[in-house]
Amino acid sequence: MNTATETGAIALTPEQVFDSKVDQEIRIEPRDWMPDKYRQTLVRQISQHAHSEIVGMLPEGNWITRAPSLRRKATLIAKVQDEAGHGLYLYSAAETLGTSRTEMIEQLHNGKAKYSSIFNYPTISWADMGAIGWLVDGAAIMNQVPLCRTSYGPYARAMVRICKEESFHQRQGFEILLTLSRGTEAQRHMCQDSINRWWWPSVMMFGPSDDASPHTAQSMKWKIKRFTNDELRQKFVDICAEQVKLLGMTLPDPLLNWNEVRQHYDFGPINWEEFWSVISGNGPCNKERLDARVKAHEEGEWVRQAANAYAKKHRQ
């Protein structure tokens, strides 16, 4: 006899069950009931994240054929291959929410879905491979580590896998810059120039400041996000301001200063106009990046069809 449930008080609404799971740090899994807004927020965030990994292969792919040694080339290929893998983990996680790969790719190609604005900047010197590893991957890691505890199970699991692989990316980047910083005058100059160009776009990677971030409050409540954009940005600045000293280089911010009271570094104002302009499509490489993605997809069409035809024939 099952008296426990019969006597067991008030029936909860699906939303109350969901909220209480989130409160108790019980992960939400794909077939659990969830609010539509929660699902939409996740699809937007995870697919945007996946697109960033895939588009992020382009600026670095640019240097594979010109890497200065076999060791650097092998490393860079491995790193770019990792980014492809990260994109795939994330697309799979997003698909558990009811969207399809085709749909997501379409939204990337027609500009409806965004990707991280950082990848719309050009990679004009070898040092950029170092600065991307150190700063861009560094900022990404800062964002991603808390996401390993995000409330949606498949997203959290994908992030655990990604974070494990990401630390090699950052270390190889710093090593590239360290080598340049101990090199000739021209190499040192190349190193500083690259840091100068990548610093502010990396600081912007954390997204709009908290008072201008429309999704933050709700995402924090649902434990999709664990820290606000500004909290993570401050952490990043504090860490990089120390690390740059090891390179004997500087960060391009005259207002960067240790604040004894706050126990944090103060830093200069962010050029939000540039941020919004790049996001809305006017960065130096937006068109080039999207064109490259669309071209790769279209030129791969015959491969997808051939594989389907082959599989079909073998089923018969």
Partner 1 sequence: MVKYLYGDYGDREQVKAGSGEVTLGSADWPLWEVFIRSKQGLDHKHVGSLHAADAQMAIENARDVYTRRQEGVSIWVVESKHVHASNPDEAESLYDPANDKIYRHPTFYNLPDELTHM
- 153 binding partner 1? (CB under 8 A): yes
Under the binding rule (CB under 8 A), the answer on residue 148 touching partner 1 is: no
Which of 32/210 has CB closer to partner 1? 32
Q: Which phi and psi angles does 135 have, rounded to 5°?
A: -90, -50
Q: Is 304 in the site for partner 1 (CB under 8 A)?
A: yes
Which of left, alpha, beta for 134 (phi over 0: left; psi -120 to 50: alpha)? Answer: alpha
Best CA proximity match to 205, nearest among 91, 114, 291: 114
Among 77, 156, 165, 268, interactor with partner 1 by CB under 8 A: 165
Residues 17-36 that bind partner 1 (CB under 8 A): 29-33, 36
**56 binding partner 1? (CB under 8 A):** no
CB of 1 to partner 1, least distance (A): 11
CB 270, min distance to partner 1, A: 35
Q: Is 193 in the site for partner 1 (CB under 8 A)?
A: no
**Closest CB to partner 1 among 92 and 196?**
92
Evaluate whether 84 touches 57 at the Cβ level (below 8 Å): yes
Q: Which residues on adjacent β-strands are paired with residue 28?
A: 152
Instruction: Give the bridge partners for 266, in sequence order.
Output: 257
Cα-Cα-Cα-Cα torsion 235, 116, 141, 80, nearest 10 degrees, comes to: -150
DSSP state at residue 124: -
> Which of residues 44, 73, 114, 157 is near partner 1 by CB under 8 A?
157
- Burial grade of 83 (CB within 10 A; 0-12, 13-18, 19 or more): buried
Q: Binding mask 78-117 vs partner 1 (x if CB under 8 A, - otherwise)?
A: x--xx--x--xx--x--xxxxxxxx---------------
| Cβ neighbours around 60 below 10 Å, total | 21
Q: What's the closest the beta carbon of residue 224 comes to partner 1, in angstroms?
A: 17
Q: Total residues at the site for partner 1 (CB under 8 A)? A: 39
CB 286 within 8 A of CB 120: yes
Shortest Å distance, C-beta 299 to partner 1: 17
Token digits for 259?
């604040």
Give the rounded distance of the alpha carbon of 127 from its chain centre.
21
* Binding-site ranges for partner 1 (CB under 8 A): 2, 4-5, 29-33, 36, 39, 43, 78, 81-82, 85, 88-89, 92, 95-102, 153-154, 157-158, 161, 165, 304, 307-308, 310-311, 314-315
